[in-house]
Amino acid sequence: MRREPAAVRSQPRLVDVAGRAGVSMATASRALASRDGVSELVAARVRDVAAELGYVANPHARTLAGGTTSVAGLLVYEIGDPYFSEIASGVVGAAAEHGWSVQISHTERDSSAEAAQVRVMRAHRVGAIVVAGSGYVDPAMEAEVARELDDFQVGGGRVVVIGRHHLRCDAVLPDNIGAAESVAAHLLGLGHRRMAVVAGPSHLSTVADRLGGIRAAVSAHGLDPEGLPVVYAPFTREGGRSAAGQVLDRHPGTTAILALNDAMATGVLSLLRERGVAVPHDVSVTGFDDIQVAQDLAPALTTARLPMSEMGATAFELALRPRAARPRRKPTGHGLIVRDSTAPPR
Amino acid sequence: MRREPAAVRSQPRLVDVAGRAGVSMATASRALASRDGVSELVAARVRDVAAELGYVANPHARTLAGGTTSVAGLLVYEIGDPYFSEIASGVVGAAAEHGWSVQISHTERDSSAEAAQVRVMRAHRVGAIVVAGSGYVDPAMEAEVARELDDFQVGGGRVVVIGRHHLRCDAVLPDNIGAAESVAAHLLGLGHRRMAVVAGPSHLSTVADRLGGIRAAVSAHGLDPEGLPVVYAPFTREGGRSAAGQVLDRHPGTTAILALNDAMATGVLSLLRERGVAVPHDVSVTGFDDIQVAQDLAPALTTARLPMSEMGATAFELALRPRAARPRRKPTGHGLIVRDSTAPPR
DNA sequence: CTGAAAGCGCTAACAA
DNA sequence: TTGTTAGCGCTTTCAG
């Protein structure tokens, strides 16, 4: 087998297609973009030639010339985190179905880094930006990103956020409040009265919403939500461990710990095991999200399920639709998944 | 509040930076690309102005003009799979440090889809492609992708694969054989003689290598590797469940099950629990990779650790270096993480 | 319905 | 060391 010589044929260009089809570049361009103003006969010929040559438009030239992009940006906290990787999976899957590519950036929950990432995505002229990850309770913390995203939208870009943000854009809204209520109601229904919450950073709207749902359920049961201990820590396994330690030390009579995500719940379980506290016999534990491993923890975790992958897909589909006069809101459902980490108090 | 009129400030361009810094575009371009031929004084001023204006180069213009790209393509099986999401995390992190963006595609281990994805990345003129995920034992199965990647490299693109492939390109090579040997040696050292392997698809080189390492360790212990039962199933939790069922049914005396990745090990544990088989009392179980949740399974999983995130970062760093005359190989280390799922046989 | 020509923002010769 | 200028491949007015 002979390798072809220097004739490393670069990929065919529009001018090659146009020439071969005997039309001008303008016509070829129109034909391939399925824009009208070209006779069906000519258009078909151009498309045939393009296919024959294996022509694929250079997206850089196309974008530079003001055409449409088919690359979306996705901002996640950390793609290695299961919550975000499941969302990303939904976005990437939906994007592929529509012939789009997805560019991923880490934000590591630093809101100024977030703005910088958006700037990079804008510079890359992505057609849409999906922001996964929680918004902030305080609008001021989002001001910089908001400005950047606004500019992007004004310039014709599409923005969809997952979670509650202070941004004028379409949003996929996980039902954090409803999910929290159902988890809390489950524990209250089992008879728990001395519960404690292991929460992520208080400035995240996700944390605020989940906490709100729990408090609402507590109130609905005729109890005082003010009496509910809440320990704040990072939204991670380690955060869950340290917060659980504080709960044990400061509130010894606690019979149930509600972690505000599964990563923290994992840490809680880990620490309780280490301290010899039996779950659910001594203390019940609940999580949030239902990441894939929740079912395999020891004991299998009772948790509120959010459809992460579906949320990602929905966000992308939303991004594909033209911007509406008023921002769209797509609420998601939630489910209570009862497993082995909850039981009536002793 | 009045919306600003037509003055929708688009992003600053090179000409804006150059003008503000009082230099020509060429000089500004050189300064920002850290190319030499610019006095340090001028270069510093240009960089300051750029930072002040929040200037980010338009990668499309840059690419079109024949400059270098700073977008890498990453092919993974499924970004929702922890193994790949940890690798992706390493790639995205390293890329960000160097000012690169990462475009992610799913291949779902279909080798023709793989080729199609590479084609898309080529059309997008990415500067480098990182292929994560196993290669195939049979070179023919990779022929199409190989052709596509070769063309890409001939055109100046960089390709780095993670895992053993039949491709002429740089590679990060997880030490599957060494890791497998250490896991098998651990079990043999505990006294196990009736072991069974729960393997992923036999056409994957990862599976072949890990199996080879296990067989080598068995031989080294003076035992016949031919006597080692191997059950093949999908490389997933479900695959692990079904394979474990077959092991239990067909090889009742088994005292240790070696799963070839942690996802399968998770399934194995799940099925054993369901069937009332105590781990490690009745049967020891081992995994592979040490994904983050391995430590939180019930019982905590003994497994061979591969540094996934580091592998991703290494792959990207390799992609940044110019192509060498002969393909580079970066072997990784491995570690044996002994936890609670292994013990001497009864 | 089709073609000619003017850029999009940048880099890379080539001049100065 | 710096500036001038000609494209990169495509889309999109504006004429025909």
Tell me the C-alpha distance between A9 and B283, whole Å.
Answer: 59
Q: Which helix (H) or strand (E) holds B250?
A: helix B237-250
pLDDT band at B62 (very low <50, low <70, confident <90, very high): confident
Of chain B, the end-to-end C-alpha distance in Å amounts to 77
pLDDT at A37 over 60: yes
- Rounded mean pLDDT, B104-122: 83
Tell me the C-alpha distance between B248 and B319, whole Å.
Answer: 45
Beta strand segments in B264-334, E: 284-289, 302-305, 329-331
CB contact under 8 A, B8 and A58: no
pLDDT at A280 over 80: yes
pLDDT at A174 over 80: yes
Tell me the C-alpha distance between B269 and B256, whole Å.
Answer: 12
- Strand D bases, protein C-beta under 7 A: 1-13
pLDDT at site A3: 24
Tell me the C-alpha distance between A212 and A225, whole Å.
Answer: 10
pLDDT at A126 over 50: yes
Q: Which helix (H) or strand (E) holds A1?
A: none
Please report, rounded to whole angstroms, the spatial distance between the CA atom of protein residue B92 and the C1' atom of nucleotide C13.
Answer: 35
Write out chain B residues lying below 8 Å of A60, CB-based: 59-61, 63-64, 125
pLDDT at A300 over 90: yes
Residue A23 Cβ < 7 Å to strand D: no
Closest CA to B303 of B291, B314, B311: B291
Tell me the C-alpha distance between A150 and A167, whole Å.
Answer: 8
In window 31-90 of A, residues with CB < 7 A from nucleic chain D are 32-33, 35, 55, 57-58, 61-62, 64-68
Q: Which nucleotide is nearest to A59 (CA to C1')?
A: D10
Is-cis flag, bond preceding B5, omega within 30? Answer: no
pLDDT at site A241: 98
pLDDT at B147 over 50: yes
pLDDT at A335 over 50: yes
A14-21 vs A25-32: helix axis angle to the nearest 10? 100
Looking up tokens 């988890």 gives A183
Tell me the C-alpha distance between B86 and B260, whole Å.
Answer: 18
Closest CA to B177 of B214, B224, B135: B214
Tell me the C-alpha distance between B313 and B308, whole Å.
Answer: 9
Torsion, Cα B20 A145 B103 A52, to 10 degrees, reads -70
> What is the average pLDDT score of chain A?
91
pLDDT at site A35: 81
Among B85, B279, B308, the residue to mutate for chain A (most A Cβ within 10 A): B85
pLDDT at A206 over 60: yes
> What is the average pLDDT score of chain B?
91
pLDDT at A2 over 70: no
Closest CA–CA distance from residue B207 to any residue of chain A (Å):
23
pLDDT at site B154: 83
CB B18 within 8 A of CB B25: yes
Q: Which helix (H) or strand (E) holds A88?
A: helix A82-97
Q: CA angle, B49 as apex, B44 and B55 as ends, to 5°?
A: 115
Please report, rounded to whole angstroms, the spatial distance between the CA atom of protein residue A150 and the C1' atom of nucleotide C9.
Answer: 23
The dihedrals phi and psi of A201, each to the nearest 5 degrees, come to -55, 135
Alpha helices (H) along B9-106: 14-21, 25-32, 40-53, 59-64, 82-97
- Rounded mean pLDDT, A115-134: 89
pLDDT at A109 over 80: no
pLDDT at site B4: 28
Chain B residue with minimum CA distance to A262: B293
Tell me the C-alpha distance between A194 and A207, whole Å.
Answer: 20
Identify which has the larger pLDDT, A323 or B130: B130
Among A60, A106, A270, the residue to mutate for chain B (most B Cβ within 10 A): A60
Share of chain A above pLDDT 90, in %: 64
pLDDT at site B2: 24
- Rounded mean pLDDT, A142-149: 89
pLDDT band at A160 (very low <50, low <70, confident <90, very high): very high
pLDDT band at A222 (very low <50, low <70, confident <90, very high): very high
Q: Which helix (H) or strand (E) holds A74?
A: strand A71-76
- Strand C bases, protein C-beta under 7 A: 1-13
- Rounded mean pLDDT, B124-149: 89
Closest CA to A18 of A42, A46, A41: A46
Closest CA–CA distance from residue B216 to any residue of chain A (Å):
32
Q: Which nucleotide is nearest to B11 (CA to C1')?
A: C9
Q: Which nucleotide is nearest to A62 (CA to C1')?
A: D10
Among A71, A91, A101, A120, the residue to mutate for chain B (most B Cβ within 10 A): A101
Please report, rounded to whole angstroms, the spatial distance between the CA atom of protein residue B38 and the C1' atom of nucleotide D1.
Answer: 6
pLDDT band at A156 (very low <50, low <70, confident <90, very high): confident
pLDDT at A112 over 90: no
pLDDT at site A1: 24
Is-cis flag, bond preceding B280, omega within 30? Answer: yes
CB atoms within 10 A of CB A5: 6
Segment B19-56, tens digit of pLDDT: 888 988 888 888 888 787 788 888 888 888 888 888 88
- Rounded mean pLDDT, B88-93: 96
- Rounded mean pLDDT, B152-162: 89
Q: Which of A36-40, B57-61, B199-203 has maximum average pLDDT? A: B199-203
CB A95 within 8 A of CB A72: yes
pLDDT at B168 over 50: yes
List the beta bridge partners of residue B159: B129
- Rounded mean pLDDT, A135-147: 89
pLDDT at site A10: 59
CB atoms within 10 A of CB A41: 8
- Rounded mean pLDDT, B284-296: 96
Please report, rounded to whole angstroms, the spatial distance between the CA atom of protein residue B6 and the C1' atom of nucleotide D9.
Answer: 29
Write out chain B residues lying below 8 Å of A63, CB-based: 60
CB contact under 8 A, B309 and A80: yes
Tell me the C-alpha distance between A246 and A248, whole Å.
Answer: 5
Does pTM surpass 0.85? yes
Share of chain B above pLDDT 70, in %: 96
Sheet containing strand A329-331, edge to edge, reads: A329-331, A170-173, A158-162, A128-131, A71-76, A101-106, B101-106, B71-76, B128-131, B158-162, B170-173, B329-331
Closest CA–CA distance from residue B13 to any residue of chain A (Å):
10
pLDDT at B97 over 70: yes
pLDDT at site B32: 86
pLDDT at site A4: 28
pLDDT at B5 over 80: no
CB B298 within 8 A of CB A298: yes
Of chain A, the end-to-end C-alpha distance in Å amounts to 77
Tell me the C-alpha distance between B34 and B24, whole Å.
Answer: 15
CB contact under 8 A, B64 and A64: yes
pLDDT at B142 over 50: yes
Residue B33 Cβ < 7 Å to strand D: no
pLDDT at B342 over 80: yes
CB contact under 8 A, B8 and A269: no
Chain B residue with minimum CA distance to A71: B103
pLDDT at B298 over 50: yes
Strand C protein footprint, C-beta under 7 A: A 22-27, 30, 36-39, 41-43, 61, 64-66; B 10, 13-15, 25-26, 29, 32-33, 35, 55, 57-58, 61-62, 64-68
Q: CA angle, A78 as apex, B50 and B107 as ends, to 5°?
A: 100
Of the candidate ranges A156-160, A277-281, B150-154, the one whose mean pLDDT is the lowest:
B150-154
pLDDT at site A254: 97
Instruction: Return left, alpha or beta for A191; rule: phi > 0 is left, psi -120 to 50 is alpha, else beta.
Output: left
What three-state secondary structure class fits B32? helix
Tell me the C-alpha distance between A163 and A311, whole Å.
Answer: 10
Write out chain B residues lying below 8 Å of A86, CB-based: 80
